[in-house]
Each structure stands twice: as C-alpha cells, then as structure tokens.
Structure 1
Amino acid sequence: ATRDTAFANDFFRRFIEGREVAEYPALLAQAGFLVRQAQPTGAWIGDLNLTASNRGLLIGATVLEGTPAHEAGLSSGDQLMVVDGSAMGTVRDLEDVLSRHQPGDTVTVSFGSRGQVVTSSLRLGSNPRIEILTFEEAGRPVTTAIRAFRADWLGSKVR
C-alpha cells in the first residue's frame, strides 16, 4: 500500500487537507501496531499538575474542558481539599482515593476557588491517553502480510 498513489491521494484529500479524522488504529494494524488506551480501568480526574500546599493540592495546569475535574467545576489555581471524604495533603492522597474507585464512580470533592469553598460531585473517568505497541509486544501474531507491509514501508531504499 505504500506505493499506492490512489490511496495516498485519497488519504491526503480526506485527512490532511480535509476535515475527516483518520482511523489510525486500523491503519497502523496493517503494519502490526496496536493502538489502545494506556490505562482503561484506572479512575482519572484529569491532568492537573498538582502540588501540595497548606490548603490541599494546588491545581497548576489548565483544567481541560470535558475532563472530570472540569465537569465538577475545578479550575487552574483552585485548591483540591477533600476527595471522597479524604483530606488532600499530598498527590499520593489523591492516588490512594482514585485507586479505590473505577471510571464511572461518583465522588464528592471540596475545593477552594476564588476565596470560597465549593463542594461538588465529580464523576470519575478513565485516562484517554493511548499507547502504541508492536503486535509482538502485545502478544498478537505477525502475519506474512504484516511482515511484507513493514518491509515495504520501513525497509531501506538505499541500494
């Protein structure tokens, strides 16, 4: 497929110049790569860049829209004080609480925001990060077609 001009033209028209989103898992599977969620079962509230402070955990990162933390009303600069009844003194305290839950569970959070203490419900999610593994790493069979694709795609062009 690497010398397939029609494929290349269609791909560029639809996904590079156009607005469609490429189905990367299917495309990479042709070359023997598995795309999967890195932590599908662990509870997650967002990537918050937390640091311990005298009132709890200071959120140092922008709280991205759509994350559980954002949906609960948390913002950058807020102090995460209590999660599921546990005081937040260290990042490990939050990790301990999250380890007792699954994505989809709802916990109560209390946080300081603009001089007020706010209590809110937070529905835990799963971390959307992905990882890419070779089929060999994932314990999947590598077919003759995959080996041929890899050789054509990644093989040396120097003669």
Structure 2
Amino acid sequence: MNLRQNSPGARFASPIDMSRYAAFMDAASSIDPLNSANTYLSYYDQGAGIALVLDLQLRQNHNTTLDKYMQALWQQFGSKQQGYAPANPYTVRDLRRVLGEISKDTVFANGFFRQYVYGHEQPRFSESLLAAGLALVPSRTQGPALSRQVEFDKQGRCLVAANTQIGSGLYKAGIDRGDQILVLDGKPIKSAADLEGALRKHSPSDVVFVKVKTRGGLEKTTQLILADDPVVQVKPVETMEKMVYSPTQKSLREAWLASQAAN
C-alpha cells in the first residue's frame, strides 16, 4: 500500500504497462544506471494493492469476496489442465467478465478494470479500509524521509544513495544520486549522528540551507524542504480519538479477518 501510494511511476503507467517491463526488471541487469524509482513499480506490488481494495469493495457492496472471485476463475480456467498448463487460458477481458458475474454488477467490474487495471488511478485505500474500521495514519516524522535516501561511505561522506523521487525535497532542490551533502542547516555532516542531530531540531516542511558537492565535483548551496515521511500506518478506528467504530464496520472487519479454512 505504501509502495503504491508513494511510487511516482505508478502514477503514469497501469499495472498492465508495468507487467511489460518484466523482461527488463525481474532479475535482469543493465550496465546503465536506471531511473526505476521514478518510472517503475512492480506489478506484484500493484496487484497486491488492487486485490486489497477489490476484496473490501466486493464485501461491502456486492455480498461476495475476492476468494469467491478466485474460485470462479479456477473453475472456469484452471481446473482443466493439459500438459501442466490450463487447457483454456484466460485473458484480461475474461478476468473482467468473471468479476461482473460474481459481483452481479458488470458496471462495477468494467469501471474497476478501467480505473485500476487498464488505468493507473490510485486505489482508494483509505475509503476501503475505513469501511472495515481501519484508519490510515501518517507517520508524521520527517527524519527518516531524508535519512533513508542517503548513505555514509568509509570516508564519512554523506552520499545520496539512489535517484531522488519526484516530489521529494531532494528532487525539488536539484540534488540527485551520487551528490554529497556537506553541510545541513549550518552543521557539517560527517556521520549518521550528525545528520540525525541536524534533523532533530526541525519539524516537517521546514526549509533549511544545504551545501552539496555534486557528482561532477561542483559545490553549491541551496534550500531544502524537509519533507514529511510519506509512509502511513493502519490503525483500528476504536484506538483513534474522535472516530467511531460502528457495528457495520465491526461486522465487515470480523468477516474479512475470519479464517475460511475447513476444520
């Protein structure tokens, strides 16, 4: 969920588009540096997020489940095997059709595929989880947002470890992979403790001056926004102030989390 919400690449390409990158991304290697942090998100991760939202929408609005959907697909396409492969392979159009059948709502099925499978809309995680009495809560810490993007080498240099993500503070400041952070808010940065100490004095969205030595060897000073950590947590609404845990939410959550395994 966090991967999907915070991936720049997923904003521009559908899960189907991402699956076409498989030959280049799944255990493939390249002699050239890639910008996959901004252009790619695994279709496995995207699929997990889509499945989560689909299951909750089916339970909330269509009196069925993702399990029923998968069982229907197995019965139509997987149960008959030929040479260790399905005798009747399915297409994406088949997946959409069967979703319409088990939900008894072809308009829903067509819209869901148009938005999240053929398209690249953000799945409605917050809305779907709230129906089960679960709230998405921002982590509200700006320190790790920067700390996770840098690493210290044996010489104590604070280096940007990977391509900076679109929208991040480093990206907006024009700082990228291989650049060295020399000074942050007037404090020389020579260790992780130096970085942590400089960040501890500030709150999210503070703007500080940063001195950088670029990968080309030039030194420059610019402004850096200390962005909030975009990671969210899932918490039960009954643990949150000013949120009500309704009987409907309780019923949906209990059914969703209950085991369906035969005794």
User: Measured at CA, do residues 122 and 109 of structure 1 come closer, stay the same or move farther in structure 2, by a change above 3 Å?
Assistant: same
Structure 2: distance between partners of 1:116 and 1:51 = 19
Worse overlay, 122-131 or 84-93: 122-131
Structure 1 gaps, min length 5: none
Q: Calculate the TM-score normalised by the size of structure 1.
A: 0.82
Give the Cα separation in 2 of the matches to 1:57 and 1:148.
Answer: 50
Query: What's 1:58 paired with?
Result: 159
The reply to whether residue 116 of structure 1 matches residue 218 of structure 2 is yes
Structure 2 Cα separation of the partners of residues 95 and 18 of structure 1 = 40
Q: Which residue of structure 2 lines up, in the alignment, with residue 144 of structure 1?
A: 247
CA contact (8 A) 2:156 2:191 kept: no
Shift in alpha-carbon separation, 1:105–1:157, aligned structure 2, 3 A: closer
Paired with 1:12 and 1:46, the residues of 2 have a C-alpha distance of 37
Q: 2:258 aligns with which of 136, 139, 155?
A: 155
Q: What is the CA RMSD across the aligned residues, in angstroms? A: 2.6
Q: Is the 8 A contact 1:47 1:63 kept in 2?
A: no
Matching residue of 1:42:
142
Which protein is richer in strand relative to its size?
Answer: 1
Residue in 1 that maps onto 2:177: 76
1:13 CA displacement: 4.0
Distance 1:33 1:147 in 2: 10
The answer to which of 85-94 and 19-28 deviates more is: 19-28
Moved runs in structure 1, 4+ residues, more than 6 A? Answer: none
Structure 2 SS opposite 1:35: strand
**C-alpha deviations, 1:64-93, integer Å up to 9, x for none?**
222111211211111111011100011121
Q: 1 CA distance for matches of 2:175 and 2:154?
A: 16
- 1:126 is aligned to 2:228: yes
Question: What TM-score do you get using the length of structure 2 for normalisation?
Answer: 0.53
2:28 corresponds to which residue?
none
Number of residues paired by the alignment? 158
In structure 1, what is the Cα distance between the partners aligned to 2:218 and 2:122?
42
Q: Is the 8 A contact 1:56 1:87 kept in 2?
A: no
- Which consecutive residues of structure 2, in runs of 5 or more, have no partner in the other structure? 1-57, 63-102
Change (3 A) 1:146 1:91: same
* Cα 1:46–1:96 shift into 2, 3 Å: closer
Q: Distance in 1 between matches of 2:260 and 2:113?
A: 23
1:146 offset after TM fit, Å?
Answer: 1.4
Q: 1:143 Cα shift?
A: 2.3
When residues 69 and 20 of structure 1 are mapped into structure 2, their CA distance, relative to the original with a 3 A threshold, is closer
1:34 aligned partner, one-letter code: A
Q: Give the residue type in structure 2 aligned to 1:11.
A: F
User: Shift of the alpha carbon at 1:46?
Assistant: 6.7
CA distance in 2, matches of 1:55, 1:91: 9
Rg (Cα) greater in structure: 2
Taking only the aligned residue pairs, the percentage that are identical comes to 25
Q: Which secondary structure does the structure 2 equivalent of 1:74 belong to?
A: coil
Equivalent of 1:21, from 116, 122, 126? 122
Contact 1:46 1:67 in 2 (8 A): no
